[in-house]
Amino acid sequence: MAVKKSVKIKEYELPLVIEQEDGGTFVAACPEWPDCYAQGDTVDEVVNEAVAVAASLVELYEEEAIVIPLPVRRNIVSLRKKEVIKFPLFVSV
């Protein structure tokens, strides 16, 4: 018999300020979280990189018991049942 495992997901609100530098690259920074910033050649790349940085920081902050300075939009606790989660998709055109 398989043991049901609890899956906990936190959805955070991650505000980003994105600027294009003189050389054409993009920089993204979270005004509420100075540790969270990224750089990329395109808007898509900088957003993806910033999200990856934020995810890594959340993991690190939780391990070190440091307060994460982002508001939690919702908590999802699923017991291996079907759960629909809508993810935003950003594409520069």
Domains annotated for the chain, with CATH where assigned, are 8-78 (3.30.160.250)
Kind plus residue range of the DSSP H or E element containing 29: strand 26-30
pTM over 0.85: no
Confidence of residue 76 (pLDDT cuts 50, 70, 90): confident
Strand 26-30 to strand 17-20: parallel, antiparallel, or no bridges (unpaired)?
antiparallel
Phi, psi of 70, rounded to the nearest 5 degrees: -120, 145
pLDDT band at 82 (very low <50, low <70, confident <90, very high): confident
20-50 pLDDT, tens per residue? Answer: 999 999 999 999 999 999 999 999 999 999 9
Q: Quote the CA–CA distance of 71 and 54 in Å, as a whole number.
A: 13
Q: What is the DSSP letter of 12?
A: E
pLDDT surpasses 70 at 79: no
pLDDT of residue 77: 75
CB 53 within 8 A of CB 37: yes
